[in-house]
Amino acid sequence: MAYTLDKTLDTIPKLLLDHSKKRGDNPANRQKEFGIWQSWSWADVAEEVRCLACGLAKKGFQRGDKLAVIGDNRPRLYWSMVAAQALGGIPVPLYQDSVAEEMVYVLENADVKFAIVQNQEQTDKLLEIKDRLPKLEQIFFEEPRGMHGYKKDFLHDYKEVQEEGKIFHSENPDLFLNEIEKSRGSDIAIFLYTSGTTGNPKGVVLTFENLLITSLNCIAFDNLSGEEQVLAYLPMAWVGDNLFSFAQAYVAGFCVNCPESPETVMTDLKEIGPTYYFAPPAIYETVLTKVMIRMEDAGKIKRVMFNYFMDLAKTVGIRILDGKTVSLAERVLYGIGNFLVYGPLKNNLGLSRTRLAYTAGEAIGPEIFEFFRSLGINIKQLYGQTEATVFVCAQPDGEVKADTVGKVFPGVELRLADNNEVFYRSPGVFHSYYKNPESTAETKDPEGWVATGDAGFFDDDEHLKIIDRAKDVGRMNDGTMFAPKYIENKLKFFPFVKEVVAFGHEKDFASAFICIDIEAVGNWAERRSLAYSGYTDLSARSEVYDLLQECVETVNTDLARDEKLRGSQIKRYLLLHKELDADDGELTRTRKVRRRIIAEKYGELIDALDDPDQTHKEIESQMTFEDGRIGTVHADLQIREATLI
């Protein structure tokens, strides 16, 4: 069933006022500060938003103005988005780990006039580029620490703006409510910028209807309620956070919890125990890697018990979760396993209370997916885009598969083109790309059908399988289909592999760059007393190449079973001397590979892979260190040949 909006509650500010009346004492937000959880009720949030909105109005914020929001997940930054919307303005969240230079394009393109930032670090970024942003008039900072010496007329303390807002409200008591009433569901709610894998980011314009109708459909699809607990830790600039931690919370009325800092997320996750959880595959992979590393370091009795009950869980736990028939003996044994292994493990991960978990963005390894489901955690996959307000397909309860992204989501229409490109239309389809009518017309046709750029097909159960980006699917010289992302994801399922970039289009054979997972491979090396000085040294060791050779050849064996892809087995590979990094332009801020940049930056390595006579290649390249310094790394890289099946 697809929903329509109640016109009296068709914007997020209207929903806020409704919750403040109907469930005013219920918790709306929590944040951990100085080790203590602070809580705000819906009535508190309504007051906070009103004071801030009136303060912004006092500073000159008007209907149609754009407000940049930059920082970690914090209640006050979420409130600033609602405050802007209450005045008829448009919030524009940016990725908080972006360097100043990356912010220039978005701030300029979005016509940002006001900005609310978290702290001194984000303020400094804006001050560094402000002379290139003539439209940026006012900057507000939430945390005053370190800001005492910053004396600029355009710099303001968040709380001081709220205090001004209280006075302004007393002088203009009807303004806040009147401005909220002027807005409609068809109005623009937010700009969310794409990651820009092939060029400049595009500003995806979403309306309140996009956000709220999609939220209503999701709430009905998964039986969500106002009693859910969510931990908001993914970037506020990402569409998923804006749906799961923002729009859905305002529709359903559940509580959103913000961690103390990015470094304390796992600790805070345990304390909150979310009932509704989202994480990209990389996080599930990292969690499982840490679990397996800990078990390898555990005593023999613990390892034997863990392995026995996890083997049992793979055959019994998933059937129980899916509501399938399980014998009494199996159920009893699973209960014992839950007491000894599964329960303590879920508690340690902070997922004891999780009744619904989603993953999306990339393919997740079947072993990883089944591991969490075998514990009794209802993790499901979905397929979506920023332009769809997330949801295109999702897995219904009881119909969960490791190798699909689910069925067509309620309210969505979906069709496949002759080249298997996926097209959809739905209530979540974006309004436009801001100031980019050409790209809007290329992506969305006059009837509202959106081209995803992804290639896929339906299985016998009407579940969608995504192969790769349609533009990335190529042909090898012998005519074999080459789907790089499909191959890369298969390799990334191994815990020792962090990133992969595969090459094969218009080539005689397939090859790959592989980046090791320093934590998993480092632990493996330490248990074998294999000394190393750092990432570059470890990735160059022959023993590590031997370890990764097994992974590559396992993937080749799997590819050999597919008639369409058997010719794209990886023949030659190298272990890259550095991790791919967003600061070096090699990845987007959402960790998508920038293939064009990689091809330009490492062209000599690609040429070496293509030459069967080359077994080594020296390279010197720049890299950005954690402290921001840029240095040069020199390495002599091995090139290995893998067995083809």
First to last CA, the chain: 48
- Which pLDDT tens digit goes with each residue over 136-168? 999 999 999 999 889 899 999 999 999 999 999
- At 218 the pLDDT is 95
> Around 94, how many Cα atoms within 13 Å sit in the side-chain half-sphere?
29
Q: Is 618 helix (H, G, I), strand (E, B) or coil?
A: strand
Alpha carbons 439 and 339: distance in angstroms, whole number: 55
**Are residues 293 and 520 in contact, defined by beta-carbon separation less than 8 angstroms?**
yes
Confidence of residue 185 (pLDDT cuts 50, 70, 90): very high
- Which pLDDT tens digit goes with each residue over 381-403? 999 999 999 999 999 999 999 88
- Which pLDDT tens digit goes with each residue over 430-443? 999 999 999 999 99
- At 51 the pLDDT is 98
Which two structure tokens, joined as six digits, stand for 580? 């791919």
Q: Which helix (H) or strand (E) holds 36?
A: strand 36-41
Q: Which helix (H) or strand (E) holds 271?
A: helix 265-272
Alpha carbons 455 and 383: distance in angstroms, whole number: 12
Positive or negative, the Cα torsion across 518, 346, 239, 395?
Answer: positive
Tally Cβ neighbours within 10 Å of residue 134.
8
Confidence of residue 88 (pLDDT cuts 50, 70, 90): very high
Of 572, 569, 567, the residue nearest 479 (C-alpha): 567
Give whichever of 245-254, 396-405, 497-506, 577-586 has the largest mean pLDDT: 245-254
Alpha carbons 241 and 91: distance in angstroms, whole number: 14
- At 621 the pLDDT is 77
**Are residues 226 and 15 in contact, defined by beta-carbon separation less than 8 angstroms?**
no
Tally Cβ neighbours within 10 Å of residue 174.
9
Q: Which helix (H) or strand (E) holds 255?
A: strand 255-258
What residue type is assigned to position 386 of the chain? T
> Could you identify the residue written with the tokens 């990735």?
539
Tally Cβ neighbours within 10 Å of residue 528.
9
The helix-helix angle for 175-182 and 75-86 (nearest 10°) equals 80
- At 89 the pLDDT is 98
**Are residues 136 and 61 in contact, defined by beta-carbon separation less than 8 angstroms?**
no
Calculate Rg over the CA atoms of the chain.
25
> Around 218, how many Cα atoms within 13 Å sit in the side-chain half-sphere?
30
**Are residues 610 and 513 in contact, defined by beta-carbon separation less than 8 angstroms?**
no
**Vertex 424 angle, CA 418 and 428, to 5°:** 170
**Are residues 372 and 357 in contact, defined by beta-carbon separation less than 8 angstroms?**
yes
> Around 580, how many Cα atoms within 13 Å sit in the side-chain half-sphere?
26
1: pLDDT strictly greater than 60: no
115: pLDDT strictly greater than 70: yes
| Domains and their CATH numbers in the chain | 7-212+234-252 (3.40.50.12780), 280-377 (no CATH), 474-641 (3.30.300.30)
- At 198 the pLDDT is 59
Tally Cβ neighbours within 10 Å of residue 177.
13
Residues with Cβ within 8 Å of 233's Cβ and at least 6 positions away in sequence, in order, are 73, 258, 259, 262, 265, 269
Query: Residue 202 region, left (φ>0) first, then alpha (ψ -120 to 50), else beta?
Result: beta
- At 197 the pLDDT is 58
Across 180-200, average pLDDT:
88
253: pLDDT strictly greater than 90: yes
Across 177-198, average pLDDT:
90
User: For residues 63 and 301, which has the higher predicted lDDT (pLDDT)?
Assistant: 63
Mean of the per-residue pLDDT values for the chain?
A: 91
| Helices (H), ranges, 465-527 | 484-492, 518-527
**Are residues 482 and 473 in contact, defined by beta-carbon separation less than 8 angstroms?**
yes
| Helices (H), ranges, 340-448 | 343-349, 366-374, 437-443
Positive or negative, the Cα torsion across 500, 505, 507, 509?
Answer: positive
Alpha carbons 529 and 521: distance in angstroms, whole number: 12
Q: Which helix (H) or strand (E) holds 111?
A: none
What residue type is assigned to position 317 of the chain? G
- At 310 the pLDDT is 92
> Around 454, how many Cα atoms within 13 Å sit in the side-chain half-sphere?
24
Across 170-176, average pLDDT:
96
Q: Is 307 helix (H, G, I), strand (E, B) or coil?
A: helix
Dihedral, CA atoms, 551, 553, 559, 565, nearest 10 degrees? 110
- Which pLDDT tens digit goes with each residue over 325-372? 989 999 999 999 999 999 999 999 999 999 999 998 777 878 888 999
Across 86-108, average pLDDT:
95
Q: Are strands 276-278 and 255-258 parallel, antiparallel or unpaired?
A: unpaired
Alpha carbons 239 and 428: distance in angstroms, whole number: 12
